[in-house]
Amino acid sequence: MNAARELQSVPAEEQQPSKSRFAFLEGWLYLLPSIVLFGVFVFYPMFRTIYLSFFLADQIGPFEFAGLENYHYILSSDSFQSSIKATVLFVLFTVPATIILALFLALLTSEKIMGIGIFRTFFSSTMGMSVAASSVIWMFMYNPSIGVFSKVAEWLGLPVIQWLQNPDYALLAVSLSTIWMSTGFAYLIILGGLQNIDPHLYENARVAGVSYFYQLRRITLPMLSPTLFFIVTVSFINAFQTFGQIDILTKGGPVESTNVIVYSIYKDAFINNDVGSASAQAVILFFCVLALTVLQFKLGERKVHYQ
């Protein structure tokens, strides 16, 4: 986010008053479509969500002021606690694994050898896969009688697991499919970061005759840190917003073991018609994402090495 700083450092141009008034109007005119759309579809609904969270409300609108009742209610409900637990576990299962896998694949394909383009395309391909399509494929793979996981387990003489029906395994199964879905995007970003590293650094290292792992630890990872920092933030935020794979694979079950927060909001608002409770959960989601972003920026500023 050097951008904000850069903008501020631009000195204001000295202009005649009439000209500058015109520039003022014209400038705002170019920004108007964005401002109106953000106002209607981002800022207004955010404030509206906060407002609704203090009311008893249904899909028509608020009908009774409730103070903090919605918050009391969800924070003490078992359902919301299991939803928080599922969300946190899901984030922990998916984010580190996705990034390590993507980093590994990116390092493998950073060498310029023959046919590398094909491999790069293959590894980024899950980025083109929709959540719905991916989830349907994984649902079949997890099918206990004909899916590939059961066939392999049978072949190895292992017990067949009801991946999506067993509360002990369902979240793990959804996480595994999510890791696969998100690797393509993370890979593409990390590969881009690797290619931006100044090749001279490696030449010097080669002259000095250092080992590959020394080079990885002292050159590649430090130079890659802004990229890694970015992709970690984005992956965290994406993981908090997971919905599609839950809706298709498990519907939040079995026994709410995969009822992650966005699915819980969706269920409360559109199935149980309890908009107040859904809004309170949405506010909590918003603050989680906000805290995470701020925290990462604070940490990032100190730890990240910018070129």
Q: Give the footprint of another protein on residues 60-79 (CB under 8 A).
A: 61
The reply on whether position 13 binds another protein by CB under 8 A is: yes
> How far, in Å, CA of 52 to CA of 151, rounded?
50
If the CB atoms of residues 171 and 283 are measured against another protein, the closer one turns out to be: 283
Out of 77, 81, 204, 241, name the contact with another protein by CB under 8 A: 241
> How far, in Å, CA of 237 to CA of 290, rounded?
9
The reply on whether position 269 binds another protein by CB under 8 A is: yes
Out of 10, 156, 207, 271, name the contact with another protein by CB under 8 A: 10
If the CB atoms of residues 58 and 168 are measured against another protein, the closer one turns out to be: 58
Out of 77, 81, 196, 272, name the contact with another protein by CB under 8 A: 196
The reply on whether position 207 binds another protein by CB under 8 A is: no
CA angle, 219 then 224 then 225, to 5°:
110
| Distance between first and last Cα of the chain | 14
Binding mask 169-188 for another protein (x = CB under 8 A): -----------x--x----x
The reply on whether position 293 binds another protein by CB under 8 A is: yes
Out of 103, 171, 232, 265, name the contact with another protein by CB under 8 A: 265
Out of 88, 89, 97, 131, name the contact with another protein by CB under 8 A: 131
- Total residues belonging to the chain: 307
Q: Residue 21 burial by CB count (10 A; 0-12/13-18/19+): exposed, middle or buried?
A: exposed
Residue with structure tokens 């003022």? Answer: 24
* Stretch near another protein under the rule CB under 8 A, chosen from 2-10, 68-76, 86-94, 157-165: 2-10
The reply on whether position 210 binds another protein by CB under 8 A is: no
The reply on whether position 34 binds another protein by CB under 8 A is: yes
Out of 75, 108, 158, 295, name the contact with another protein by CB under 8 A: 108
Out of 75, 92, 132, 299, name the contact with another protein by CB under 8 A: 132
The reply on whether position 267 binds another protein by CB under 8 A is: no
The reply on whether position 213 binds another protein by CB under 8 A is: no
The reply on whether position 271 binds another protein by CB under 8 A is: no
The reply on whether position 87 binds another protein by CB under 8 A is: no
The reply on whether position 23 binds another protein by CB under 8 A is: yes
Q: Give the footprint of another protein on residues 42-61 (CB under 8 A).
A: 42-46, 48-49, 52, 59, 61
